[in-house]
Structure 1
Amino acid sequence: MSLINVSNLTFAYDGSYDNVFEDVNFQIDTEWKLGFTGRNGRGKTTFLNLLLGKYDYRGTISAKVTFDYFPFYVENKAQNTIDVISDIVPDYLHWELMRELNMLKVSDDVLYRPFDSLSNGEQTKVLLAALFLKENSFLLIDEPTNHLDMNARKLVGKYLSGKSGFILVSHDRAFLDQCVDHILSINKTDIEIQKGNFSEWWENKKRQDHYELAENEKLKGDIKRLSEAAKRTNNWSHEVEKTKNGTRNSGSKVDKGYVGHKAAKMMKRSKSIEQRQHNAIEETSKLLKNIETSESLKIAQLAYHKKQLVELEHVSITYGEKKVCEDLSFTIEQGDRIALAGKNGSGKSSIIKLICGEDIGYTGTFRRGSQLQISYVSQDTSHLQGNLTDYARNNGIDESLFKAILRKLDFSRVQFEKDISAYSGGQKKKVLIAKSLSEQAHLHVWDEPLNFIDVISRIQIEELLLEYQPTLLFVEHDSEFCKHIATQVVEL
């Protein structure tokens, strides 16, 4: 066991006035299985890059371990997989590699195939196996679940649960619960570490937030009451002081010593009340700093003139000689929230393309309602570039509504001035979702919408869908999201 000590860490990107981290202090045990969470753009990947020594910073990061980062950059994807592994871990032992691949249910024949011929899931598993061949390293694992189907996520989660000595960035709640024993969270004003899995951390956070909100309301009431009391006491003190120069109602002479003593006593009481008021204000300033604002979103879906929007009867889709899905039948009716489920390569994206109107060869019966307006969110964000104003105009959506949704999804106003291509992966996905929520549509079709998106935003989107109940067809491998949202699951 050794420790990674972070002391007074302060970092800002060149040309930026805002610090990503400011005077951050914490300690990590290198035996921990550490889940790393926080809203998009808070600096999770930046912190991993600081550990890797990629940027200059103020403060200290001291560690007696080396750091290795996942996913590895593969320069030549055309070479055989076994050569890719040799480039990453030159001195690996073959039996150890086979042990790791066996745990990940990867057959050894992939080693002698070109790396770029492997599916995304196979590539992820191979690179994870290579990562855990490295000895005496603390491993930095950045979002391994993207492009993994639900079964593969469970398998990789089980694999990681048997390992230790890593930081895992993931927004999949069930996946984190399966394989971590501590949570490192980037909050609005600090970084904290807590023992336990994600669900335990989330429950503790909700309790703390609830306590702070209640305490804040109580203190605000105290401040108002003390302020009024201080004002009254002050007024009484001044009135008593005035009587020193006057006479009593009976005409007898005023005892100035007595009156002065009484005024001084009241003034002292006033000062005491003011101090208590000041202390209450101080206490409120310590609260609410890390409460995440997650305002509710809205969706105004168009009503369709028929109950049934889409129907597939015994549909099969073939690419060349490969049949990607066969004999599929289901209907989409207004109010349905249908999850398309199945392994990677089972034809989920092909079905979505067919429904969205792409020219895909199929057999069977496919009917789509006339003049059906569909809003589509794709997996791919690589095409996003330019500023948000131009993006809204080019896509024919209301700019004010579009930006208001992004604000609710935790975009700062500074983000509005940046080029979209400079956004984090999660922020780019939020742009696509905000666009979809701004569009006039009868049916929303979302293909893996939550890749890279932080947990709090996922919960916001869940609450939106449960409140407004739009008609939705989606592919998503986050099991918690599917459990909460789907009214029907179509298994491919």
Structure 2
Amino acid sequence: MSLINVTNLTFAYDGSYDNIFEDVSFQMNTDWNLGLTGRNGRGKTTFLKLLLGKYEYSGDISASVSFEYFPFPVEHKENNTLDVIDGIYPDYEYWQIVRELTLLKVSEDVLYRPFESMSNGEQTKVLLATLFLKENSFLLIDEPTNHLDIHARKLVSDYLRTKSGYILVSHDRAFLDNCVDHILSINKTNIEVQKGNFSEWWENKKRQDHYELAENEKLRKDINRLSDAAKRTNNWSHEVEKSKNGVRNSGSKVDKGYVGHKAAKMMKRSKSIEHRQHSAIEESSKLLKNIESSESLKIAQLAYNKKQMVELDKVSIRYGDHTVCSGVTFTIEQGDRIALAGPNGSGKSSILKLIRGEDIDFTGTFRKGSQLLISYVSQDTSQLQGGLSDYAVASGIDESLFKAILRKLDFSRTQFDKDLTSFSGGQKKKVLIARSLCEKAHLHVWDEPLNFIDVISRVQIEELLLEHSPTILFVEHDSEFCKNIANKIVEL
């Protein structure tokens, strides 16, 4: 057991006027399993790279362990898996890798297959197994869930729970809850470490936010009341001071000493009230710095002229000689929120492509309503490039509405001037979702929309779908999201 000390850390990218981190200090224990959370673009991956020594920074990071980053880059995916592992960590014992693969329910024979022949989920498991062969290292695990289906996520989460000494970046709430014992949160103004799993941290944050909002409202009322009192007392003081040179109604002269004393007393009281007012303002300024804005989103889905939109009856899809799914039967009716579930490779994305109208080789019965407008969110964000304004024009959507939605999803105005290629993975997915919310459609089809998206934005999207109840077919491996949103589940 040892400590990792971060002291007065400040960092900004070259050419940027905005610091990603500014004078932050905290400690981590190398035995902890930390979940790293924070909104997209806050610097989670940047922080991991700072630990790895990839960037220059001011302040100090001290640790008695080395750091290892996941995922490893694999240059020659055509090589056998065993050779890939040997290239990453040559000092392992064969029995060790077999033990780790067994824990992850991966067959030993994958070691003698080309690495590229495995599914993305299998590749993830093999690289995680390799990662945990390394001793005396603190592991930095960056979003391992993006290629894992729901069942694989549970398996990997159970695996990570048996380990210790890592930082895990993930936005999957159930995944984090199962395997972390501390949360490292990158907030608006600082970085905090808190004991407990994600749900415990989330409840504490909501309580703290609620308390600060209530305190801020109380202080605001106090400030207004004190401001009015200070003005009244100040006016009284001036009126009394002016009366020093006057004459009483009885004709006798005014006692200037008494009046002056009374005016001074009132002025002192006014100054005291002003001091209390300034104290309240100062106290208020310390609040709300880490309150996350999460304004409600809206969706204006078009009404369709029929109840039933799509029907599949015993549909099978083939690619050449390979059948990816068979006997698929379900309908989409207005108001349905359907989760299309199943393991990786079971044909979920192929079903979505068929419904969208892509040229797919299938058998069985497939019917789609005439003039049905579909808005699609793809898994793939690699096509995003150029500016947001040009993207809005090319997509045929209202630019003002598009950017307003992105603002609600925590985009800063400075982000609007950047090229889409510079956005984080989560920010790119938000661009696709914002575009979809702007499109005129009868049906929304979303393929793994939440990959890389932060938890607060996930909750916003959940609230949107629950409030407006649009007709939607989606594939998503976040079990909490599916549980909260789907009113139907189609299992492949």
**TM-score for both structures, normalised by structure 1:** 0.99
Deviations 1:161-208 (A, max 9, x none): 111100000000000000000000011111111110000000010011
Residues in 2 aligned to 1:284 and 1:214: alpha-carbon distance in whole angstroms? 11
TM-superposed CA distance for 1:320, in Å, is 2.1
Q: Distance in 2 between matches of 1:402 and 1:228?
A: 43
1:17 corresponds in structure 2 to 17
Per the alignment, in what secondary structure is the counterpart of residue 27 of structure 2? strand
Q: State the match for 2:28 in structure 1.
A: 28
Which residue number in structure 2 is paired with residue 306 of structure 1? 306
For residue 333 of structure 1, what is the aligned residue in structure 2?
Answer: 333
State how far apart, in whole Å, the 2-side matches of 1:298 and 1:312 are.
30
The aligned amino acid for 2:25 is: N
1:288-324 CA deviation, whole Å, 9 max, x = no partner?
A: 1000111111111111100000001111112222221
Q: Does 1:66 align with 2:66?
A: yes
Task: In structure 2, give the amino acid aligned to 1:382.
Answer: S
Secondary structure at 2:22 match in 1? strand
Amino acid at match of 1:228: D
Secondary structure (helix, strand or coil) at the match of 1:146 reads helix
In 2: Cα distance, 1:159 partner to 1:326 partner: 32
Report the AA paired with residue 201 of structure 2.
Answer: W
- Residue 424 of structure 1: aligned partner: 424
Aligned-pair distance for 1:75? 0.9
The count of aligned residue pairs is 492
* Equivalence for 1:218: 218
Instruction: Give 1:45's aligned amino acid.
Output: T
The percentage of counterpart residues that share the same residue type is 80
Q: CA deviation at 1:246?
A: 1.6
The Cα of 1:255 is off from its aligned counterpart by 1.8
1:266: Cα distance to partner? 1.1
Residue 462 (structure 2) aligns with: 462
Q: How much does 1:98 deviate?
A: 1.0
1:227 aligns with 2:227: yes
Tell me what 2:151 maps to. 151
CA distance in 2, matches of 1:421, 1:259: 73
After superposing on structure 2, the runs of 4+ consecutive aligned residues of structure 1 that deviate more than 6 Å are: none
| C-alpha distance in structure 2 between counterparts of 1:250 and 1:154, whole Å | 93
Aligned partner letter, 2:372 = L
Structure 1 residue matching 2:358: 3-state secondary structure: coil
Residue equivalent to 1:114: 114
CA distance in 1 between counterparts of 2:199 and 2:276 reads 38
Any idea what SS the aligned residue of 1:363 has? strand
Pairing 1:290-369 to 2, within 5 Å after superposition: 290-369=290-369
Separation in structure 2 between the aligned mates of residue 402 and residue 260 of structure 1, nearest angstrom: 64
Q: Distance in 2 between matches of 1:319 and 1:399?
A: 39
Q: Which deviates more, 334-343 or 412-421?
A: 412-421
Q: SS of 1:176's equivalent?
A: helix
The residue number in structure 2 matching 1:169 is 169
Question: 3-state SS of the aligned residue for 2:145?
Answer: coil
Which whole-Å deviations, capped at 9, do the CAs of 1:96-122 have from their partners, x for residues lacking one? 111110110000011001001110000
Q: Equivalences for 1:182-261 in 2 at 5 Å? A: 182-261=182-261
Is 2:59 aligned against 1:91?
no
Alpha-carbon shift at residue 376 of structure 1 (Å): 0.6
Alpha-carbon distance in 2 for matches of 1:246, 1:373? 84
Residue 262 of structure 1, CA deviation: 1.3
CA distance in 2, matches of 1:375, 1:117: 33
Aligned position for 2:288:
288
| Distance in 2 (alpha carbons) for counterparts of 1:352 and 1:164 | 39
Deviation per residue, 1:422-455 (Å, 9 max, x gap) = 1110011111111111111110000000000000
Match of 1:435 in 2: 435
Q: What does the per-residue CA deviation read over 1:130-180, in whole Å, with 9 as the maximum and x for residues that have no partner?
A: 000000000000000001000000000000011110000000000000000
Opposite residue 221 of structure 2, the aligned amino acid is G
Correspondence 1:390 to 2:378:
no
Aligned to 1:415: 415
Aligned to 2:373: 373
The Cα of 1:251 is off from its aligned counterpart by 2.1
Question: How far off its partner does 1:238 sit?
Answer: 1.3
Deviation track 1:76-99 (CA, whole Å, cap 9, x = no partner) reads 111000111111111001111111
- Shift in Å, 1:44: 0.3
Task: Give me the CA root mean square deviation.
Answer: 0.8
Q: Provide structure 2 residue ranges, at least 5 long, that are not aligned to the other structure.
A: none
3-state DSSP of counterpart to 2:445? strand
Between the aligned partners of 2:459 and 2:346, the Cα distance in structure 1 is: 28
Tell me, in whole angstroms, the C-alpha distance in 2 between the residues paired with 1:427 and 1:108: 38
CA distance in 2, matches of 1:468, 1:195: 36
Q: Which amino acid aligns with 1:385?
A: Q
Amino acid at match of 2:180: V
Letter in 2 for 1:208: Q
Deviations 1:361-406 (A, max 9, x none): 1111110000111111110111111111111111111111111111
Give 2:212's aligned amino acid: E
Q: 2: CA distance between counterparts of 1:242 and 1:341? A: 82
Q: C-alpha distance in 1, partners of 2:335/2:147?
A: 28
SS of aligned partner of 2:146 = coil
SS across alignment from 1:204: helix
2:287 aligned partner, one-letter code: L
| More off after superposition, 258-267 vs 36-45 | 258-267
Q: Distance in 2 between matches of 1:460 and 1:213?
A: 19
SS at match of 2:192: strand
| Alignment-mate amino acid for residue 3 of structure 2 | L
Structure 2 counterpart SS, 1:437: helix
After the TM superposition, which of the residue ranges 460-469 and 318-327 deviates more from structure 2?
Answer: 318-327
Q: Which residue of 1 aligns with 2:448?
A: 448
- Does 2:267 correspond to 1:264? no
Q: 2: distance between equivalents of 1:250 and 1:140?
A: 88
CA drift at 1:248: 2.1
Alignment-mate amino acid for residue 42 of structure 2: R
State the SS of the aligned residue for 1:145.
helix
Structure 1 unaligned segments of length 5 or more: list them. Answer: none
CA distance in 1, matches of 2:249, 2:158: 89
Q: What SS does the corresponding residue of 1:430 show, helix, strand or coil? A: helix
1:135 aligns with 2:135: yes
Give the whole-Å Cα distance in 2 for the aligned partners of 1:5 and 1:372.
Answer: 57
Separation in structure 1 between the aligned mates of residue 421 and residue 254 of structure 2, nearest angstrom: 81
